Structures are given as C-alpha cells and as structure tokens.
Structure 1
Amino acid sequence: MTPEDTDADDDASVIARSRREPSLFAVIFDRHSRHIHRYLVRRLGPVVADDVLADTFLIAFDKRAKFDLAHPDARPWLYGIATNLVARQRRVEVRELKLRMAVGPPADEIGHADRVADQVSAQALGKRLDRALATLRPRERDVLLLVAAEGLGYQEVAEALAIPVGTVKSRLNRARGRVRAELGDLDPVKETSRHG
C-alpha cells in the first residue's frame, strides 16, 4: 500500500496501518507538519523550530502504538508533543543562560554592535506583546497560543495538553485578562471586534 492510497483515510486509520507498515506514517507528517512547524516557529523561532519539529514527529512515530484510535485527527496529539518539547527547550535555554552568566561575557566579536542593533530593531515591534506573554504562566501561555495562534478549539487543546476542557477555558480566561491588562490601548481583542 502506498501513501497515496491513504488520502481519504482519517489520521487514526493511517496511524493504525502504520503500525504494520511504518512508511505510512509519512502521511501524518505530510498532513500536519506545516501546522506544527508554524506553531514551533512562533514559540521558539525559526532556527530551533526545524529541530523540534523533527523531534516531535520522531516521538510521535515511536509512540504511534499508544495513539488513541478513537480520535480521528492526530493534530491535537502532535501539538501536545510539540508543547512538551517547547517546555523542554525552554528549560535547556534557561540552564545555558545561567551557565553563560556564571562564566561571563564572551570576548568582543567583529560585527557584534551591528547584530545587537538588528536584534533591538526587530524586537521593538513586538516588545509589548512579548512582555504581555511573558507575564503569563507557562500553562496559560500554552493554552492561549494553541487557541489564538493555532486556531485549535477547546476540546482540541484539552486533548493536546491532556487536561479537562474546563481547565482550558479557565486558563484561557486568565491569560486573556493578563494580556489585556498589559497591552491596554493595544488590546488585540478590541481591534478584532472593530474589524469583525
């Protein structure tokens, strides 16, 4: 059987068959990698996103035997794996930052000032939004980004993060309140309601 033969099948059917024919799991990658990659770029930036995307699908492939075949769409499951890897990546970055701070600043490099100026310019645009997102607890940020940036519904977020729908709603409500308080006059909810 070829991946083309699986075009009409839901994800659960493809995953079930991939347990016997591992090459069929490529269909899941083809269907969902674009969405997961976009999510990872938003969370980690384009440099790290490719590696984490590969890890996401390697883990999914390894755990495909445990996938709940009652769920026809694998995307929430994949978002859950990706979100866990984002958290792991953040922990690694914090450890590396602490280590660099303990060691001290690196020697001056050629072009360092230009790189710093470019970074400052790029970050100035989203500075307030970044600050607003930084005020959120990681669990609230995960829910907010899965809903707002990825367009997942409450049930899909609940599946992705293995939490009840009620918890998704309460985390999202808290996250929205904190972001509104931080953004004030730049409240994206107000902008959306004016244009919607």
Structure 2
Amino acid sequence: MARLGAVFFDLDDTLVLTHAATKIANDAVKAVLANRAPSSNADEVVSAFLEGFSSSPWDPVGQVDVTEWRARIWHVALQKWSVQDIELARDLQACFDRERMLAFQWAEGVEALVRELQNQGLKVGLITNGHTVVQRAKLEACKAQELFNVILVGGEEPREKPYKEIFLKACELAGCDPRESVMVGDNLSTDIQVV
C-alpha cells in the first residue's frame, strides 16, 4: 500500500460554507430592493434570479463578462415586476458579489486541519470547479494562497473535476504519485465520479 502524500480538497461547501455566504449576499440584495424597488417582491426577485442563474450562471459561449451576465439575469428578474432598470440590476450584482466575498471565509477548523496535515509532511491542495473570475475571487477572499501548496481552478484547465486530468496535474504539482493522494469534497458526482 502506498503512503499518503497529498490531500486535495474541494472549495465550495467543503472548506467554505458557500451556501451561507450566498444567503448573506441574497439578504443584502433584498435590502437594496426594498429601498430602490419597493413595488417589487424582494423574495420573488431573488427567486427569479436564482432560477435564471441555475440554468446558466455565466455566458456559455464566453462573449459576456460574468458580472455583466449575472446583472442581466437580475434585470430579467426585475422585469417580472415591471422594473426596467439595468443600472439597478448591475448594482444588485455588485452588492451580491461584495457581500458574498465578505462572508466567504474558511469553515471552523479548516485552517487548523490544513496546517496539521502539512505538519505531518503532506502536501495539501485545493481543486475547485467553476468560472475562473468567480473562483479566483473566492480564493482571494479566503486567502487560499496562504494556506495551500497547490491550487487548481477547473475553468482554467482543459477538463475540470471529476475528470482525471485535473487530478493528475494536481499530483504532479504536489510531487506525489496519484496512488498517494485523496480527494475530499461534498458532491460525489462533481468531485470524483465520472459517469
């Protein structure tokens, strides 16, 4: 049996409680809506946004900047309440991004766990899927570069998790054989399981 050389972690809802940060950001957006578009139903505007976001969180052909793309999703959500204000939509996205990044911090115990693994001689890496701009902002918010030996963003690689290529690259960067590594995540199908 090979010795363990590296542990790789997923980011969202594994090391950071992303859903909790998103809720904080959505609550901040609702406060902006209550002030600037009081005739709208803030809960339903956010729900409409989330519906549009879940089907296409960024421009699938890469022609529109991700922040502008998401502002346009807010704009569509606002239009359901007859609010025709693209600047408000952009402000909602800016508010969402700002508040989410302020709340985007390591879950309790993460830093101590990573340091302990490193103290035991293990390389510790982070492999996250998603749009490069979005994931890099998250990594900066939680200061991931100060904690991890290896960081890979799926959107910057030819194939993201769960495909083996990104894991092989992580192992190469960590200087370990793939048989000497483990991946820790919160979602079997997006973290390691290729169907």
TM-score (norm 1): 0.30
Give 1 or 2: higher strand fraction. 2
Give 1 or 2: higher helix fraction. 1
- Which is higher, the Rg of structure 1 or of structure 2? 1
RCO comparison, higher one (Cα < 8 Å, 6+): 2
